[in-house]
Structures are given as C-alpha cells and as structure tokens.
Amino acid sequence: MFLKNALDISHRIIEMIVAKGDAVVDATAGNGNDTLFLAKLVGLEGKVFAFDIQDMALENTRKRLADDDADKSVILIKDSHENMDMHVPKGIKAVMFNLGYLPGGDHSVGTKAASTIKAIEKSLALLEPGGVIMIAVYYGGDSGFDEKEAIMEYVKSIDYKKAVVLVHEFVNQINCPPIAICIEKCS
C-alpha cells in the first residue's frame, strides 16, 4: 500500500520537498525513527535539529542513528519544541511532528496542545517559503481528544495568505486513525 497511515503521508510529502543539504527539524524525536528518516534525506551536507524533553527518547534516538551511521548531520536537543527558535536558525525546509507519547515509555509524558501550538507557530516563522510542517496527530486512548481539537482549531485560524493547510483523514478505519496535517508556507 502507498498510503498506510498518517506518518506515511508525512514521510511521502517531506520526501517531495526536502533535498540533500537542507536543514530540517524533528520536533518529537522519540525513538529516532523520524530523525533517521530525515537524516538520510538531508545527507551529510544537511542538518537535522531533533527535539525531545525526555532523556530516554534522546538516548534511544542517539542509538538509532549510531546503528545506521547517520548521526553526523543530527543535533539532539533536550528542550521543548516550543523553544525551537532558541536553537534553530531561520531557513528551515521542513518540520516534522509525530505527536503523543514515547512508545515503550511513560504514557503520561505526551505532547500537549499549548506547547505544540506554540511550536507550530515558531516553525512557521523559521520555515522558508515553500517549506512544510507535517503533523501526525494521535487521539483517543491515552492521548485523549483535547490536543487534536485544539490543534484543529488553531490550524483553521492560520491566515491563508501566510500558509496553506491540508488535513488528511482516513474516514473508513476503526479506532481513531491518526490524522496528518500539512502546512505549506506561502512563497
């Protein structure tokens, strides 16, 4: 299957936008799978700024990158993504959010609406025109519905002259299938 889930959609769109040498952000490093995906896309000439608030996530990401010999272009940052402007220069090509909690970790330390929305705002400011933000939003179960609802309300309010927002939703699946939100900064 070409489009398996929200994360897959995020990867497919980012692959179309990001090229070798670009600078990108992984806003939720977790176990490092998306950081590795981004590191391979930007190559040794590019840069990946990967954020997480948990030591365990950053350690898992560090190991994941080292196993694939892909750590050279990655900067791991222990800070909330809402502070990304303190670590990341302007001119970013893509920002990836994979929301929720660390698989295999503490389910109570998941992403939260207020900080996620601040981080999306900062991502938009750091993004170069034509760049994209991809957000895989999990809801239901331990993630609840608050974050999804707040993010949807926020992205609908983004000025259409500033960015285009597209929501990908699987409408015939069971158990709250995650949605993928794509925000493209206008040129």
> Using CB under 6 A, which of 109, 152, 158, 165 touches ligand SAM?
109
> DSSP letter at 31?
T
Residue whose CB is less far from ligand SAM, 49 or 51: 51
Distance CA 180, CA 154 (A): 15
> Using CB under 6 A, which of 81, 93, 122, 185 touches ligand SAM?
81
Closest CA to 122 of 73, 168, 86: 86
> DSSP letter at 65?
H
Least CB distance from residue 17 to ligand SAM, whole Å? 18
How far does Cα 57 stand from its chain's mean position?
Answer: 15
Q: Which stretch binds ligand SAM (CB under 6 A): 22-30, 142-150, 157-165, 175-183?
A: 22-30
Q: For residues 35-47, b (16+ Cβ closer than 10 Å) or e, as one string?
A: bbbbbebbeeebb
Paired sense of beta strands 74-78 and 47-52, if any: parallel
Q: Which stretch binds ligand SAM (CB under 6 A): 8-16, 17-25, 93-101, 126-134?
A: 93-101
> Using CB under 6 A, which of 52, 71, 147, 184 touches ligand SAM?
52
Residue whose CB is less far from ligand SAM, 98 or 159: 98
Q: Is 57 in the site for ligand SAM (CB under 6 A)?
A: yes
Contacts with ligand SAM, residue ranges (CB under 6 A): 28-34, 51-54, 57, 80-81, 98, 100-102, 109-111, 115
